[in-house]
């Protein structure tokens, strides 16, 4: 999924696609984030939504909050459509966020304690565990706060 992929600010029609991807997959299923909550999350004040496309079809998205955590950039959500996973789209979206916030010094994200696949991806990209919010979204599961220094 290398050269044909491009990432751009979401168009109005993209929001519903992104909300449906979120609501239909883990971790949001376990976190009880249903379609209405996902729609609301994507238009939260202070966030910007970007969509990855191949041949004009959306394959993934990333939701960025420029001052989202302790005044630093925060990746609020990232997801790739089920049939497009494992082909580098998530990695491209992460690199896009890091380039978007180049010069800001820090970037943060949260990942659910049960989301081992995403944790592995973030570790591979240099994100480090800095804290844990116990029972934060739903009882019995933590949100792990990860940090990466940005050049
Ligand atoms: C996590 C996610 C965005 C990664 O996107 P992706 O395009 O599959 O990522 P890449 O192809 O660049 O890298 C694949 C890595 O993602 C991880 N991964 C997580 N879930 C995966 C899945 N269902 N299929 C393939 N890889 C997955 C793997 O650990 C893999 O790492 P590896 O290459 O070291 O084995 C995507 O799998 C996804 O949308 N998952 C569901 C939503 C989610 O968990 N979002 C993160 C919330 S914090």
Question: Which CATH number goes with the domain that contains 72?
Answer: 3.40.630.30
Q: Is residue 121 packed enough to be buried (19+ CB in 10 Å), middle (13-18) or exposed (0-12)?
A: middle
| Local confidence band at 25 (pLDDT 50, 70, 90 cut-offs) | very high
Q: Which residues contact 40 (CB under 8 A, 6 or more apart)?
A: none
What is the best residue among 60, 80, 108 to mutate for testing ligand 1's pocket, by most ligand atoms within 8 Å of CB? 80
Show the domain range for 11. 5-149
CB 112 within 8 A of CB 33: no
The domain total for the chain is 1
- How far, in Å, is the centroid of ligand 1 from the Cα of 75? 15
Q: Closest residue (by CA) to atom 28 of ligand 1?
A: 117
Q: How far apart are CA 127 and CA 129, in angstroms?
A: 7
What is the best residue among 118, 127, 148 to mutate for testing ligand 1's pocket, by most ligand atoms within 8 Å of CB? 118
- The tens digit of pLDDT for each residue in 59-102 reads 999 999 999 999 999 999 999 999 999 999 999 999 999 999 99
Q: How far apart are CA 25 and CA 3, in angstroms?
A: 27
């Amino acid at each position: 999924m290398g050269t044909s992929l491009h990432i751009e600010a979401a168009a109005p029609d993209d929001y519903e696609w992104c909300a449906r991807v979120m609501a239909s997959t883990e971790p949001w299923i376990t976190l009880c984030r249903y379609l209405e909550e996902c729609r609301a999350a994507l238009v939260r004040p202070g966030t910007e939504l970007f969509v990855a496309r191949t041949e004009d079809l959306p394959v993934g998205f990333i939701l960025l909050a420029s001052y989202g955590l302790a005044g630093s950039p925060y990746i609020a959500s990232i997801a790739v459509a089920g049939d497009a996973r494992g082909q580098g789209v998530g990695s491209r979206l992460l690199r896009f966020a890091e380039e978007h916030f180049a010069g800001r010094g820090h970037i943060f994200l949260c990942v659910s304690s049960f989301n081992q696949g995403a944790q592995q991806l973030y570790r591979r990209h240099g994100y480090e565990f800095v804290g844990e919010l116990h029972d934060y979204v739903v009882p019995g599961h933590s949100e792990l706060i990860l940090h990466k220094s940005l050049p």
